[in-house]
Chain A
Amino acid sequence: MELQPVDNLPEGFTRGLNSDETSEEYFLNMGPQHPSTHGVLRLVLKLDGENVLEVVPHLGYVHRGIEKLAESQTYLQNIHLTDRLDYLSSHFNNLGYCLAMEQALDIGVPERGEYIRVMVCELQRIQSHLLWWGVTGMDLGAISTFLYGFKEREMITDIFEEICGARLTMNFFRPGGSFADVPDTFIPRVKKVIERMHVALDEYNTLLTDNIIFRERTRAIGILSREKALSYGCSGGVLRASGVSYDVRRNDPYSIYDRFDFGIPVGSVGGCFDRYRMKMEEMPQSLRILEQAVKDFPEGPYRSKEQSAYRLPQGSYYSQVETARGLLGTYIVAEGGAKPYRVKFRSPSFSNLSTLCEMAVGHKIADLVTILATLDFVVPDIDR
């Protein structure tokens, strides 16, 4: 087998093309404007006919320098920057940042504030999974799932619009609680969502989970072993699908998650269908948390004492939350002023994406799309 000289290869590849007469190897650019890369991710593929030999993701198309920008803004202003990390998990991002600040300033959160946080976060988890479910179906050629997913998602988005005025970039949580109390209609609306979701989940299973085409396209595709998942630092559904039961809400409880009774779904094989199943089973668990929270939703203050400016004492502070995609770490280094010295986000999508080549090699391009869909990453979260 003759290999091409290594110097004019696309970036990231180590081995050249097989220049054999009969070989059909070539490089192909997928993205950055490709519908199934969910944003502006560029993948360079080395293919043999239709078979994937190597995948190199190229990042940076939506790099906005959020970590650098955070250094020139006050702590309060930073919270609204975190909306723009993983835009489908903006409440989680806000929460992560607020938890780190609360840890630094020793601020407590009133009971009602904690309940609001947990409920809003679980609603967002469902909301994010619904969007993912819709686009996963669409990536595999089932356009109608997109519309079905958005139907219920709209109910949750309406709740968010009512409590904070935004549908995507929430900027809702503040150190010590949230910027506003929830209106009276909040609990009835949540109850309606819970009721509707139980019916809807059955429909989703009939529509997609039990669909033979979907089953055949996800079965035994993109297997990620337990060891690989751990060594790449995966988290969230990707890690749990490979058989590791790790969820920050359970293993390192923040807020008041230790009070709720909920299960952590764990997969066995680590293939595409397992990853799909993880998300689908997480939704009923989130509903369980919501049901318990609705039952004991307390009255009282929603936020501890408000401050117009926050100055973090010198030191470094770390918090982690479980977003809809996995572990989001927020690390703040403070020098005592009104602005942070350095902020670092550990985003789940980045680690999850790095397993792509590991999973895709040996499959067809169409399977690569399946793998991308079940990895469920958000590109702005990778680039930041």
Chain B
Amino acid sequence: MKTRQVGDKESLFHFWGRYLQKVATGLVSLLSGMGVTIRYFVSPDKIITQQYPENRENLQMMARFRGHLAMIHDENNQHRCTGCGICEKACPNGTISVLTAKDLAGRKVLGRYIYRLSQCTLCNLCIESCPFGAISMGRDFELATYDRQQLTFILNKTQGGK
């Protein structure tokens, strides 16, 4: 063990002087810190805490918030997806499967758009890659479930597209 070098012995008077001074400066530093706390305590207008989940009703999410993937549907429940599969290729995680079908005229259309939230990293790459602007990110963030099965979605409501 290292031992401290002791120099000339300090007089008792000096020792106590130093000691008391340290106590005083220490006390001042603690009190000034406490002052900040008290200032916040007595000014309720500075409260920024949000009461979640009580404020669920009027919670505003940012316009670009990246929640889960969603397909944009118009008022007639029509979507713009052509089933081209570009988003499937752009996805780094194999989250999307675009299953195509044939419509009555024999043209290739979207059959089912399968999205697995459990594998999604919410990276936005699929949306950037879609040439038709058919998909977007949802605003929801409470996405936890008890069962993994519930994390697979079919995003299109109707077969085909425009």
- A residues with a Cβ closer than 8 A to B are 73, 76-77, 80-81, 144, 151, 154, 158, 161-166, 169, 171, 179-180, 183, 203, 206-208, 210-213, 215, 308, 362
Is B150 at the interface (CB under 8 A from chain A)? no
CB neighbours of B26 from chain A (8 A) = 212-213
The answer to whether A77 touches B137 (Cβ under 8 A) is no
The answer to whether B137 touches A165 (Cβ under 8 A) is yes
- Nearest CB of chain B from residue A40's CB, rounded to whole Å: 20
CB neighbours of A208 from chain B (8 A) = 33
Known contacts: A144-B37, A212-B29. The answer to whether A80 contacts B123 by CB under 8 A is: yes
- Nearest CB of chain A from residue B127's CB, rounded to whole Å: 9
The answer to whether B124 touches A171 (Cβ under 8 A) is yes
Interface hit among B61-69, B77-85, B102-110: B61-69
Contact string against A for B residues 11-44, beta-carbon threshold 8 Å, 1 for contact and 0 otherwise: 0000000000000011001101101110000000
CB neighbours of A180 from chain B (8 A) = 64
CB neighbours of A158 from chain B (8 A) = 62
CB neighbours of A165 from chain B (8 A) = 62, 64-66, 124, 137
CB neighbors of A among B37-67 (8 A): 37, 48, 62-66
CB neighbours of B33 from chain A (8 A) = 206-208, 210-211
Main secondary structure of the interface of A (DSSP, over half): helix
The answer to whether A169 touches B36 (Cβ under 8 A) is no
Q: How far is the CA of A73 from the CA of B26 in the complex (A)?
A: 57
CB neighbours of A144 from chain B (8 A) = 37
CB neighbours of B151 from chain A (8 A) = none
Is B128 at the interface (CB under 8 A from chain A)? yes
Q: How far is the CA of A161 from the CA of B64 in the complex (A)?
A: 7
CB neighbors of A among B111-140 (8 A): 121-125, 128-129, 137
CB neighbours of A154 from chain B (8 A) = 48
Closest Cβ neighbor of A144 among chain B residues: B37
Interface centre among A164, A165, A213 (most CB of B within 10 A): A165
The answer to whether A77 touches B66 (Cβ under 8 A) is no
The answer to whether A162 touches B123 (Cβ under 8 A) is no
Q: How far is the CA of A162 from the CA of B90 in the complex (A)?
A: 24
Q: A212's contact among B2, B25, B36, B90, by CB below 8 Å, is which?
A: B25
- Nearest CB of chain B from residue A199's CB, rounded to whole Å: 11
Task: For the A-B complex with A162-B63, A171-B125, A206-B35 known, give 13 more contacts whose Cβ atoms are closer than 8 Å.
Answer: A73-B92, A76-B125, A154-B48, A164-B66, A165-B62, A165-B64, A169-B123, A171-B123, A179-B128, A206-B36, A208-B33, A210-B33, A212-B29
The answer to whether A151 touches B48 (Cβ under 8 A) is yes
A-B contact pairs, 5 of them (CB 8 A): A164-B64, A179-B128, A207-B33, A213-B26, A308-B129
Closest Cβ neighbor of B127 among chain A residues: A179
The answer to whether A212 touches B30 (Cβ under 8 A) is yes
The answer to whether B64 touches A163 (Cβ under 8 A) is yes
CB neighbours of B32 from chain A (8 A) = 206, 210
Q: How far is the CA of A80 from the CA of B63 in the complex (A)?
A: 21
